[in-house]
Amino acid sequence: MNYRHIYHAGNFADVLKHAVLARLIRYMQKKDGAFRVLDTHAGIGLYDLSSEEAQKTGEWLDGIGKLMEAELGLQVSELLEPYLSAIRELNPEGGIRFYPGSPKLARMLFRPQDRLSAMELHPEDFARLHRLFEGDHHARITELDGWLALGAHLPPKEKRGIVLVDPPFEEEDEYERLAKGLERAYRRFPGGTYCLWYPLKKGAPVKEFHEMLQALDIPKMLCAELTVRSDRGMTGLTGSGLIIVNPPFTLKDELHQMLPALKDHMAQDRFASHRAFWLRGENKTVKDDPES
Judged against a pLDDT cut of 80, whether residue 289 lies above it is answered with no
Contact 242, 197 (CB under 8 A): yes
Strand duo 161-165 + 36-39: pairing: parallel
Asked if residue 63 belongs to a known ligand binding site, the reply is no
- For strands 221-227 and 161-165, give the pairing: unpaired
Across residues 181-208, what is the average pLDDT?
96
Residues 40, 164 contacting (CB under 8 angstroms)? yes
What is the percent of the chain with per-residue pLDDT over 90, rounded to a whole number?
A: 85
Name 16's bridge partners. none
274 in a known ligand binding site: no
User: With 80 as the cut, is the pLDDT of residue 288 above it?
Assistant: no
Instruction: Give pLDDT, residue 234.
Output: 72
**138 labeled binding residue:** no
* 191: pLDDT strictly greater than 90: yes
pLDDT at 283: 64
Average predicted confidence (pLDDT) for the chain:
93
- In the chain the domains, ranked by start, together with CATH numbers, are 3-278 (3.40.50.150)
Asked if residue 166 belongs to a known ligand binding site, the reply is yes
Phi-psi region of 193 (alpha: psi -120 to 50; beta: other; left: phi over 0): beta
SS3 at position 161 = strand
Residues 8-21 have a mean pLDDT of 96
Q: Annotated binding residue at 18? A: yes
Task: Show Cβ contacts of residue 239 under 8 Å, excluding neighbours closer than 6 positions.
Answer: 12, 13, 199, 200, 201, 225, 226, 227, 228, 229, 273
Tell whether the model's pLDDT for residue 285 goes beyond 80. Answer: no
pTM of the model: 0.94
Active site residues: 166
Residue type, 119: M
> Counting every residue, how long is the chain?
292
Ligand-binding site membership of 125 (annotated):
no
DSSP 251-290: HHHHHHHHHHHHHHHH-SSTT-EEEEEEEESS----EE-T
Residue pLDDT, tens place only, 223-274 = 999 999 998 877 789 999 999 999 999 999 999 999 999 999 999 999 999 9
Q: Tell me which residue of 160, 164, 170 sits closest to 150, measured CA to CA.
A: 164
**Which of 19, 55, 58 shows the shortest CA–CA distance to 268?**
58
pLDDT, residue 266, reads 97
Looking at the predicted structure, is the pLDDT value of residue 106 above 70?
yes
The verdict on whether residue 120 carries a ligand-binding annotation is yes
Distance set, CA 259 to CA 75, 76, 102, 185, 237 (Å)? 12, 9, 19, 28, 18
